[in-house]
Amino acid sequence: MPGQSLGLIETVGLAAAIEAADAAIKSAHVTLIGYELTKGGGMVTVKFEGEIGAINAGVTAGVMAASKVGTVYAHKVIARTAQHIECMIYSADTLGITAPEPEAKPVLFENPQTIPVLNVEELNVEETPDQSTCMDFSEEAPKKEQSTVTVNPSQKPRGAGRRK
C-alpha cells in the first residue's frame, strides 16, 4: 500500500455506498479495500487503492453514481499515501476485504541439507600411470606452431595511400 493512492467516498446509507463502489471499480483499475460504518448518522465510507489517475477516475464515477441513489457527504483522493498511515486505512472497523499481510523477510537457509563427505584416500581406485590433473601446471608452456604468411612485396598494404 505505501506509494499507492487512496480514494475515499463517504455516503449517507449503504445503498449509495454500494453504488459508488460498483461504479468506481467498473470505471477504473482500482482495488476495493473495504467499507467502514460510522458510529451514527448512517454514513458509510468506501475505500479504494490504486494509481493516481485510476483513483481520480474511479472516485469521480463513484460520486456521480452515488449521488443519483442517495447523498454523497464527502470524497477525497490522496496521492501516494505515507507508509505509517496503513493502520488507519486497514483498521479493525474496515469491513470487506482483509488487510494485506506484511511481507516476510526471505530465509536463506530454512532447511539446511547435509552433504556427505568422502575421504578420497579411503576409496579403492586403480591408479593410472599419469597422476596429473587439470590443476597441475607444468613449468614450460607448450610452444605454439608459427604460421607463415607470404606477402607480395609489390603490393601496398591496405589503406597506405589514403589520407586521414
In this predicted structure, which of 41-50, 77-86, 105-114 has the lowest mean pLDDT? Answer: 105-114
DSSP E strands: which ranges in the chain?
A: 5-12, 31-37, 43-50, 71-78, 94-96
Assigned CATH topology for domain 5-94: Alpha-Beta Plaits (3.30.70)
- Cell numbers representing residue 24 in the block: 468506481
Rounded-to-integer distance, Cα 64 and Cα 20, Å = 8
In the predicted structure, residue 78 carries a pLDDT above the cut 60: yes
Q: State percent of the chain over pLDDT 90.
A: 38
> 3-state SS of the chain: helix, strand, coil percent to 5?
25, 20, 55
In the predicted structure, residue 30 carries a pLDDT above the cut 90: yes
Q: 126-160 pLDDT, tens per residue?
A: 655 556 665 665 555 555 555 555 556 666 666 65
